[in-house]
Amino acid sequence: MRAEPTPGGAHLVVIGAGIIGAATALAALDRGLRVTILDPGPPGGEQAASYGNGCWLSVMSVIPPAVPGLWKQVPAFLRDPLGPLAIRWSYLPRALPWLWAYLRSGWTEARVLATARALHNLLADAPALHRALAERAGVGELIRRDGLMYVYPSRAEFEREAMGFRIRRAVGLRWKEIGPEEMRQLQPELDPRYGFGALFEEAGHCTDPGAYVAALVDRAVAEGATLRRAKATGFRLEGGRLKAVRTGEGEILADRAVIAAGAHSKPLSAAAGSRVPLETERGYHAVILGAQTGPRIPIMPSDGKMGITATRAGLRASGQVEIAGLAAAPNWKRAEILRDHLLRAFPKLPRDLPPEKLAFWMGHRPSMPDGLPCLGHAAATPDIVLAFGHGHVGLVAGPRSGEAAAALAAGGEPGIDLRPYDPRRFG
């Protein structure tokens, strides 16, 4: 039940209209706050990570990108600009501190397990939480709860990832093992070289993340929020309390603020007294528009490490990690690699695709080096809340993160233990 905002009630400015900001705004309205959503771009637009992500509501995505032994592959990452994880030489000096912390965070299995437990608290029951939000916004059909599959050429290939699945089991996740015969039944159009799968039946996906986020923001506005198209540049603080959010078009008077600006949150966080090691993991997607073939259940092939999902627009492959900063131009060859993976995974797709049948995209995952987001009060004032840095799990973690951020802004209980995500963990 949503509380009615009072005329003198606290005014919250949510900086960012992505999935975290949209979920925060709705949760804040439920707590009786007056809400302004601030973003220079259109909600759900192509400029946002929420538009171009992998569509997955992947409750099983509790394994951080950095795992034991990853450091051995760093020379290969530097040599191969088109590998699944690449580091641009020109950006390496700036990225080195973040990369070192990134590698150290996954140095041992015990560290990975601790991260997995913390991520599980944000991701559990995500498809149901997203369905509730989508239905509130009138777009319930965009959330599907059909499960998600990792697929492998053989059981032996699956067993090479034993540590990850061992950790998933330790945090309470379960999956169904799929052999060759059942694979053909579940995924009849998938290349027959994939003969083994791990099906997470409790997972789901969104068929149009951009439209979903736009609908959530529209719902927030319909329920009383204000949407302002401007860029936040800082804050006016007096006596340790927030008085206004500064923008390129002047100040917005505010009692509370939530920084949910994704990969663009770092300078705002610093302005609020919290210097955090936020980096962008640039990701790509390729869509075969109007594709008539694809997976019945979204898949991630082990030899491609990209999510393949049937969306409203077509067949989308999402993945790749490129460390190159916010300003570097896209390397569209990386999107072409994703397209080629689609063609190999589904042999019935046409090989002579004209340009108008393809859509490529590049965006910025906001990533912390330890694989966990920042969710907590800013150092300079309890009136500003940090809610960013979700890396590869921004979409799936949206509802719980938004609820937690709104609770902190309203002075309430977040419902989960936020200590693992405390921005102060970086000193």
- Please tell me the predicted confidence (pLDDT) of residue 105: 92
Ramachandran assignment for 180, one of left (phi > 0), alpha (psi -120 to 50 degrees), beta (any other):
alpha
Alpha helices by DSSP H, listed for 176-315, are 180-186, 209-222, 266-271
- Token pair in block for residue 2: 């949503």
Which of helix, strand or coil describes residue 34? strand
- Please tell me the predicted confidence (pLDDT) of residue 73: 83
- Please tell me the predicted confidence (pLDDT) of residue 148: 98
> How far are the Cα atoms of 41, 53, 328 from residue 325, in angstroms, in the given order?
20, 18, 6
Question: What is the residue-level pLDDT of the chain in tens, covering all 427 positions?
Answer: 455 444 457 999 999 999 999 999 999 999 999 999 999 999 999 999 999 999 999 999 999 989 998 888 888 877 887 888 889 999 999 999 999 999 999 999 999 999 999 999 999 999 999 999 999 999 999 999 999 999 999 999 999 999 999 999 999 999 999 999 999 999 999 999 999 999 999 999 999 999 999 999 999 999 999 999 999 999 999 999 999 999 999 999 999 999 999 999 999 999 999 999 999 999 999 999 999 999 999 999 999 889 999 999 999 999 989 999 999 999 999 999 999 999 999 999 999 999 999 999 999 999 999 999 999 999 999 999 999 999 999 999 999 999 999 999 999 999 999 999 999 999 7
Going by their DSSP bridges, the two strands 314-323 and 85-87 should be labelled as parallel
| Chain centroid offset of residue 357 CA | 26
- Please tell me the predicted confidence (pLDDT) of residue 83: 82
- Please tell me the predicted confidence (pLDDT) of residue 2: 55
Report the C-alpha gap between 285 and 375 in whole angstroms. 28
Q: Cβ(268)–Cβ(234) under 8 Å?
A: yes
Q: Cβ(342)–Cβ(349) under 8 Å?
A: yes
| Chain centroid offset of residue 110 CA | 24
What's the helix, strand, coil split of the chain in %, to 5?
Answer: 35, 25, 40
| Chain centroid offset of residue 298 CA | 17
Angle subtended by helix axes 162-170 and 109-123, to nearest 10 = 50
Residue 253 makes CB contacts below 8 A (sequence gap 6+) with: 11, 243, 244
Q: What are phi and psi of 158, to 5 degrees?
A: -60, -45
Report the C-alpha gap between 136 and 150 in whole angstroms. 31
Report the C-alpha gap between 40 and 11 in whole angstroms. 20
Single-letter code of the amino acid located at 32 = G
- Token pair in block for residue 383: 């009136």
> How far are the Cα atoms of 58, 166, 187, 276, 297 from residue 195, in angstroms, in the given order?
22, 21, 10, 43, 15
- Token pair in block for residue 95: 């990225």
DSSP sequence for 270-305: HHTT-----EEEEEEEEEEET-S---SS-EEETTT-
- Token pair in block for residue 68: 């034991």
- Please tell me the predicted confidence (pLDDT) of residue 111: 96
Report the C-alpha gap between 198 and 202 in whole angstroms. 12
Q: Is the dihedral of CA 382, 384, 385, 388 positive or negative?
A: negative
Domains observed in the chain:
1-61+114-142+204-276+369-427 (3.50.50.60)
Q: Cβ(272)–Cβ(386) under 8 Å?
A: yes
Report the C-alpha gap between 331 and 219 in whole angstroms. 36
Going by their DSSP bridges, the two strands 241-247 and 250-253 should be labelled as antiparallel
